[in-house]
């Protein structure tokens, strides 16, 4: 296949039809490329297609929208529910005619790179992403058949958009003889619960003493649903290892959170990767203000949720929480249910296991008697991403230098040692749709030859600077998590400069420095 000017039309393989996969497809098409999207499920939407029914959008609607496809006027909620978000994503795909590029029920089992000159290949051979003669082979399985049927697809470039929150559940390690097999009840992961429709889920937990392990959004949503079904007669127990600064809303003491953490001025208070002397001095000078902002929000959360009363005051700061991309919006009425007794919170700073009756906490003789335990313990995203590569060398590159949940990526998109491949959507931000869109626009410009990548050495140095930032500000438990956290504007500025855009895109000094930045501020 060729373009109008006679050039070969390069084929781009995209893995996943969630938010990032759809955006990658749309912007590759805009540059004249020929994308093929491989989606293992029968529909689009990624995590939004199999999310707990009561889950709502975690960021305000204006921040979570496509830059060229606003929410319809009929959606009036600031935090739309799961079905509304999924319908919005589906309408985006239809509007830009993306569905015809998607192969549904097509699971990519593995990736292998063919380099005509031998070896695994890397970016050292040139910064042109399509300049090499190498090809990627994608081994794809048809999930509609009971017999194993695979096909090999060869593409010029691969965009991996598998995300972090699906497919491979993170199961805690249990003490000897105290795993789920010791329990007479049932143990499932939140992934299994989220696949149930609301009626099935309600019937599944009805009349049971349920324990939920975890304290992020899935755990809170499940606990809220269980308390709705079973009430105070059979309270849902939530076992919490790490309390979090989960927000009641985005207006602490009446002030929009965006004016505290989503504008340029707020980022002056934070030391940045590769910053110069002036920015370093500013961040040091403004450190008391940085501390005050964090305490301001913490005081509001403690007051609204009565955290001290429940023994749930976190040890880390709100800035640590934000920098780790682990902030969640508490389901409406969650702490009211804690007060009434339909939800019980138990803090466990150490480890837990199982007995016949239920969960056994270290240091406590009596078990938490349960009939059903739901492990809302997250996903092992790094394991899923790593094992899609056939090459052991590439697997090691993805895993990084230590046991972590971060992938060492330049601009959070490109691994310096893996050629003709990008990873979009694995690294989180305060607004994942917004960030995925600007990354996909950046990638499309790169593929179109509008700019070149620096040398492998320069890319690795930049990755190291970002790692130092994460270590400095993220909560120690999550510091190795792939997250741009409290520097999403600084990060977006780098992508804009690469593309030749003016990163400062507002129309006045006040707006540029003190108003929040959102998706509409990056439209061309």
| pLDDT on residue 118 | 56
Judge if 214 and 337 occupy the same domain. Answer: yes
CB 63 within 8 A of CB 434: yes
Return the CATH number at 224: 3.50.50.60
Report the pLDDT averaged over residues 40-63: 90
| pLDDT on residue 6 | 42
Question: CA nearest 370: which of 386, 384, 352?
Answer: 352
Last residue of a domain, one of 398, 424, 452: 452
Domain assignment present for 429: yes
Give the separation between CA 454 and CA 410, rounded to whole angstroms.
10
Give the separation between CA 164 and CA 495, rounded to whole angstroms.
22
Interval 135-181: pLDDT, tens:
999 999 998 887 778 999 999 999 999 877 777 888 888 888 899 99
Give the separation between CA 36 and CA 230, rounded to whole angstroms.
46
Report the pLDDT averaged over residues 461-465: 93
CB 312 within 8 A of CB 240: yes
Domain assignment present for 253: yes
From residue 114, give the alpha-carbon distance in Å to each of 140, 178, 303, 384, 443.
17, 46, 58, 22, 22
Report the pLDDT averaged over residues 103-107: 95
Q: Residue 358 pairs with which residues in a beta bridge?
A: 369
Interval 381-418: pLDDT, tens:
788 888 899 999 999 998 876 555 578 999 999 999 99
Query: Helix or strand or coil: residue 131?
Result: coil
* Residue 91: pLDDT over 80: yes
| pLDDT on residue 1 | 43
| pLDDT on residue 7 | 41
User: How many CB atoms neighbour CB 17 within 10 A?
Assistant: 30
Judge if 197 and 281 occupy the same domain. Answer: no
* Residue 8: pLDDT over 80: no
Judge if 269 and 238 occupy the same domain. Answer: no
Judge if 146 and 267 occupy the same domain. Answer: no
Dig out the tokens for 137 from the structure. Answer: 């082979």
Task: Indicate the range of 115-129, 357-371, 450-464 predicted with least confidence.
Answer: 115-129
| pLDDT on residue 486 | 85
Give the separation between CA 213 and CA 14, rounded to whole angstroms.
34
pLDDT band at 478 (very low <50, low <70, confident <90, very high): low
Domain assignment present for 144: yes
Judge if 347 and 208 occupy the same domain. Answer: yes
Domain assignment present for 1: no
Judge if 351 and 474 occupy the same domain. Answer: no
Percent of the chain at pLDDT exceeding 90 = 70
Report the pLDDT averaged over residues 488-517: 92
Place of tokens 């995925």: 436
Give the separation between CA 274 and CA 385, rounded to whole angstroms.
28
Judge if 416 and 458 occupy the same domain. Answer: no
Judge if 175 and 225 occupy the same domain. Answer: yes
| pLDDT on residue 470 | 86
Judge if 395 and 409 occupy the same domain. Answer: yes
Last residue of a domain, one of 377, 412, 439: 377
- Beta strands 157-160 and 421-423 are parallel
| pLDDT on residue 120 | 52
Give the separation between CA 317 and CA 294, rounded to whole angstroms.
7
Query: Helix or strand or coil: residue 227?
Result: helix
Domain assignment present for 502: yes
| pLDDT on residue 446 | 96
Give the separation between CA 89 and CA 69, rounded to whole angstroms.
10
Q: How many residues does the chain have?
A: 524
- Our count of domains for the chain comes to 3
Interval 184-218: pLDDT, tens:
999 999 999 999 999 999 999 999 999 999 999 99
Judge if 443 and 470 occupy the same domain. Answer: no
Q: Is 13 exposed, middle or buried (CB count within 10 Å of its CB: 0-12, 13-18, 19+)?
A: buried
Its domain, for residue 279, covers 244-325+453-523
Domain assignment present for 463: yes
Give the separation between CA 148 and CA 136, rounded to whole angstroms.
22
Domain assignment present for 4: no
Judge if 75 and 154 occupy the same domain. Answer: yes
Give Cβ neighbours of residue 16 (< 8 Å, ≥ 6 apart): 37, 38, 39, 46, 160, 161, 162, 163, 425
Last residue of a domain, one of 452, 479, 502: 452
Judge if 296 and 440 occupy the same domain. Answer: no
**Which position has the higher pLDDT, 60 or 163?**
60
* Residue 116: pLDDT over 90: no
Percent of the chain at pLDDT exceeding 70 = 93
Mean pLDDT value across the chain: 90
């Amino acid at each position: 296949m060729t373009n109008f000017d006679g050039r070969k039309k390069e084929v781009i393989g995209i893995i996943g039809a969630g938010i990032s996969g759809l955006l990658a497809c749309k912007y590759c098409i805009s540059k004249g490329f020929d994308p093929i999207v491989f989606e293992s499920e029968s529909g689009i939407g990624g995590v939004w297609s199999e999310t707990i029914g009561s889950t709502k959008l975690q960021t305000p609607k204006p921040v979570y929208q496509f830059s060229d496809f606003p929410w319809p006027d009929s959606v009036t909620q600031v935090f739309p529910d799961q079905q509304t978000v999924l319908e919005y994503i589906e309408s985006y795909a239809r509007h830009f005619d993306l569905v015809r590029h998607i192969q549904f029920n097509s699971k990519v089992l593995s990736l292998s790179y063919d380099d005509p000159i031998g070896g695994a290949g890397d970016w050292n051979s040139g910064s042109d992403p399509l300049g090499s003669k190498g090809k990627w082979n994608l081994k794809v399985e048809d999930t509609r058949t009971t017999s194993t049927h695979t096909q090999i697809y060869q593409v010029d470039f691969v965009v991996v958009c598998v995300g972090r929150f699906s497919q491979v559940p993170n199961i805690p390690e249990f003490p000897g003889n105290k795993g789920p097999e010791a329990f007479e009840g049932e143990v499932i992961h939140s992934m299994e619960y989220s696949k149930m429709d609301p009626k099935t889920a309600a019937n599944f937990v009805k009349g049971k003493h349920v324990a939920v392990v975890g304290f992020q959004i899935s755990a809170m949503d499940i606990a809220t649903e269980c308390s709705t079904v079973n009430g105070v007669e059979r309270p849902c127990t939530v076992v919490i290892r790490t309390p979090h600064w989960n927000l009641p809303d985005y207006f602490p003491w009446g002030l929009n959170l965006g004016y505290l953490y989503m504008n340029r001025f707020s980022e002056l208070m934070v030391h940045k990767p590769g910053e110069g002397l002036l920015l370093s001095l500013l961040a040091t000078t403004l450190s008391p203000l940085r501390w005050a902002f964090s305490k301001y929000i913490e005081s509001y959360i403690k007051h609204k949720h009565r955290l001290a009363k429940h023994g749930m005051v976190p040890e880390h700061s709100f800035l640590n929480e934000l920098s780790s991309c682990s902030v969640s919006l508490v389901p409406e009425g969650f702490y009211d249910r804690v007060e009434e007794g339909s939800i019980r919170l138990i803090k466990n700073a150490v480890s837990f296991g199982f007995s016949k009756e239920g969960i056994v906490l270290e240091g406590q003789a009596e078990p938490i008697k349960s009939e059903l335990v739901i492990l809302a313990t997250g996903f092992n995203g790094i394991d899923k991403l790593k094992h899609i590569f056939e090459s052991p060398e590439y697997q090691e590159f993805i895993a990084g230098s230590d046991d972590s949940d971060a992938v060492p990526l330049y601009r959070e998109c490109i691994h310096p040692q893996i050629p003709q491949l990008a990873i979009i959507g694995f690294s989180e931000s305060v607004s994942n749709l917004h960030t995925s869109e600007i990354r996909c626009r950046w990638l499309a410009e790169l593929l179109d030859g509008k700019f070149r990548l620096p040398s492998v050495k320069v890319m690795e140095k930049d990755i190291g600077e970002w790692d130092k930032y994460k270590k400095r500000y993220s909560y120690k438990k999550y510091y190795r998590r792939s997250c741009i956290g409290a520097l999403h504007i600084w990060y977006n500025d780098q992508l804009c400069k690469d593309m030749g855009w003016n990163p400062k895109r507002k129309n006045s000094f006040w707006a540029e420095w003190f108003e929040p930045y959102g998706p509409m501020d990056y439209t061309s």
